[in-house]
Chains A and B, each alone.
Chain A
Amino acid sequence: DAGITQSPRHKVTETGTPVTLRCHQTENHRYMYWYRQDPGHGLRLIHYSYGVKDTDKGEVSDGYSVSRSKTEDFLLTLESATSSQTSVYFCAISARTGGGEKLFFGSGTQLSVL
């Protein structure tokens, strides 16, 4: 358990509404990530953060923004949700263990955009 909590665990929303997903970690890790999981695509990186107020885009960042005002919290915002953003969203932290950098994931948020 890497001390990662995602909220909410499930959310149903309507097209065009804003949505914010929260990731909270308790172990002071510098690097945090948002991935989405879709059938046929595995997990894809949306955005990541390498420190407070330091963020960058991943592979599928269009339609998403992030913020990190505190080390422990990393927020993912869908400014105007679309049906293509229906997915399972995973937050992760990066930690070096056993000689290599590894990601440790939260339990995920299932988001449905109707």
Chain B
Amino acid sequence: DQQVKQNSPSLSVQEGRISILNCDYTNSMFDYFLWYKKYPAEGPTFLISISSIKDKNEDGRFTVFLNKSAKHLSLHIVPSQPGDSAVYFCAASESTSYGKLTFGQGTILTVHP
């Protein structure tokens, strides 16, 4: 039973355009959500997070939106750059769980020059 799902295995975007990566979750106890970015042969690196008390969080070119009623979150990257090409993982946890994250399967983002 996959509690966090990223239904798009891959996404291809032109440089300068918006990239939108989606994530759905089923566990209503999740109240803290994160996005990680992973390059080949490296560990995942933290990108941005959002608590369930918010519906939006921005950090530079990256914005995460949370729709609690739909149990859906999305990551927007504007403008997309070739260096953003990587695997993006959505993750969720109960805020009291101290790092016990449940990850989605990942979405491979390719940004073309």
Contacts and interface: CB of A to CB of B under 8 A. Distances in A.
Given A40-B105, A107-B43, A100 B98 contact: no
5 contacts: A43-B44, A43-B103, A45-B101, A99-B51, A102-B49
Interface of A: 4, 31, 33, 40-45, 48, 50, 58-59, 90, 92, 94, 98-108
A60 to B, nearest CB: 12
A31 B98 contact: yes
Chain A CB count within 10 A is highest, among B6, B93, B95, B101, for B101
Given A42-B103, A42-B106, A94 B45 contact: no
B32 A100 contact: yes
B34 A102 contact: yes
Contacts of A108: 41-43
Contacts of B32: 100-101
A87 B46 CA distance: 21
B2 to A, nearest CB: 8
Given A43-B89, A100-B51, A58 B44 contact: no
A8 to B, nearest CB: 14
A105 B100 contact: no
Given A48-B99, A58-B100, A103-B99, A42 B105 contact: yes
- Residues of A contacting B: mostly: strand
B105 A94 contact: no
Interface in B69-83: none
B98 A107 contact: no
A42 B44 CA distance: 11
A54 to B, nearest CB: 12
B103 A105 contact: no
Chain A CB count within 10 A is highest, among B34, B41, B46, B51, for B46
B83 to A, nearest CB: 19
B44 A105 contact: yes
A93 to B, nearest CB: 8
